[in-house]
Amino acid sequence: MPSYFESRRGRRRETVIAALFLVVALVLFLMPEQYQQPIRRAIRTTVLSPFIGFQSALAQQDTRMVDVGALRAERDSLSAVLAAQAPIVEENRRLRGLLGLRQRAEPGFVPAQLVRVGVTGGESTFLLNVGRRDGVAPGSPVVGAGGLLGVVREVEEGTALGVDWTHVDFRASAMTADGSAYGIIEPRPGRFREEDLLTLTGAPFHSDIPPGSRIVTSGRGGVYPRGIPIGVVLGIDEADTGWRKNYVLRPLVRPESVSHVLVGRAGEEGASDASTLWYGSAPPDTGPDAGPVREAAEQQGGDR
Amino acid sequence: MEGRWPFALFVLLLIALHFLLRIGLGLEGTAPDLLTVALLLTARRVPAGWAAGVGLLMGLLRDSVNLTSFGADAVVMTVLGFLGARSRDYFVGESVLFLLVYLLLGKWLHDIAFHLISGGMATGEPFSSVALGSAIAAVYAAVAGVVALSIYRALARE
């Protein structure tokens, strides 16, 4: 059973020891990010690695246990759709080959499973079952079926740690799909996490982005490939000092609903423009690759 | 003295179960916060300085998967371990009702202190919603802690 009472000297000694531990904790809390990162990684790759490994194994098992009947029904439906759309597929393949889009889109991303870390304060953090050996690096974009979900922050050999767009430090350079206005995407916390939205800040005051407009990554800054859908404009948020406008966006990907994602690979040429993953062609803007796209489209128009 | 090693094993099991449920099985907040429960139970049995040290280590474990405020949980858990050990000076006893209240208040204090020390940079949630949400989580953790300790006592014949 516990010892309930200590001598006065013993109490003082214990208080001093506790104070020393508190100082160590405060030093760890206040030290710069670059010193915190190796400590965090060391703990994760040693003490917590069995749990992270178990999570990866379980996620793979889940994927294998998908109902075979449902898969067969899906395959049959897809076969019917493909048979009906064979001419379109063939034309699409030819056009993609013509424009060189296939090389741009395909090698840039790797599929991954996502699991939330489930700790207090880590609500915006997630674990991925891909890592350095898959070509993932810090800064790699993480996208869901609807569009941009977040970004990878730390990478190990077979796992990675990232944050989604609800994280307070999340930023992305963005533009309207037609390239008429540019700005920076920031999270806009709601009263509850389900109410979290996004804000497009710093849009030019003269630009008027109507509700319903689609906002995509602009590719500026080199963090996110150009053309990844982010959200849809709900309305104007506020005018900033009379020179800029902020718009509220409805995100196209809700973090709580995502379990499978695509993660951008570092150094892949195809990762610079991801618009072909969501559109038949790149959004018509002033990007560096717009010239050949426009010429090909004109040539295609001329052929008809 | 004779109950030291079985109790240490029990605490290690609680810690392993916490990460197995929350990370391994991906249950997140659906699983009770057994890490804080483990610290609070340990703090009732070890000297205050050691309780603070255990809190520091447990806090670092949790901080290692937190990209927002590394060290914040280590600070909170260190203080919580110390306070838990010092609570022996004011509250003597190990009854189920006492443990329930002790664990509930300890977990609630942990969540609120964490929210304050991380300055809302972790979640951005308003304080009222944190206080309410953590109260529910505290009840959940307290019940889970009392059940776990009852099982331990039955097995260890304490």
pLDDT in tens, A140-183: 889 887 888 999 988 888 888 899 998 888 888 999 888 888 88
Please tell me which residue of chain B has the smallest CA distance to A118: B28
Average pLDDT, rounded, for chain A: 76
Residue A192 has pLDDT above 80, yes or no: no
| Residue A296: pLDDT band with limits 50, 70, 90 | very low
pLDDT for the residue B29: 77
CA distance B145 to chain A (A): 18
ipTM entry: 0.91
Residue A297 has pLDDT above 60, yes or no: no
Q: Is CATH 3.90.79.10 the right assignment for the domain spanning A106-279?
A: no
Q: Which of these ranges, A62-76, B23-37, B143-157, has the smallest mean pLDDT?
A: A62-76
Using CB atoms, pick whichever of A21, A39, A125 lies closest to residue B52: A21
Residue A63 has pLDDT above 90, yes or no: no
Instruction: Specify which of A293-297, B94-98, B100-104 reaches the highest per-range mean pLDDT.
Output: B100-104
CA distance A266 to A272: 10
Higher pLDDT, A260 or A75: A260
Average pLDDT over residues B105-111: 94
CA distance B102 to B44: 10
DSSP label at A161?
Answer: E
Confirm or reject contact between B59 and chain A (CB < 8 A): yes
Residues of A in contact with B60 (CB under 8 A): 28, 39, 43
Which own/partner contact pairs does A288-292 have at CB distance under 8 Å and 24+ positions apart?
Answer: A289/A104, A292/A99, A292/A100
Helix (H) or strand (E) holding A184, with range, is strand A182-188
Residue A222 has pLDDT above 80, yes or no: no
Give residue limits of the domains in chain A: 10-45, 106-279
Whole-model pTM: value is: 0.70
Print the SS3 string covering chain B: CCCHHHHHHHHHHHHHHHHHHHHHCCCHHHCCCHHHHHHHHHHCCCCHHHHHHHHHHHHHHHHCCCCCCCCHHHHHHHHHHHHHHHHHHCCCCCCHHHHHHHHHHHHHHHHHHHHHHCCCCCCCCCHHHHHHHHHHHHHHHHHHHHHHHHHHHHHHCC
| Residue A303: pLDDT band with limits 50, 70, 90 | very low
Question: Residues B70, B3: contact at Cβ < 8 Å?
Answer: no
pLDDT for the residue A23: 96
CA distance B105 to chain A (A): 17
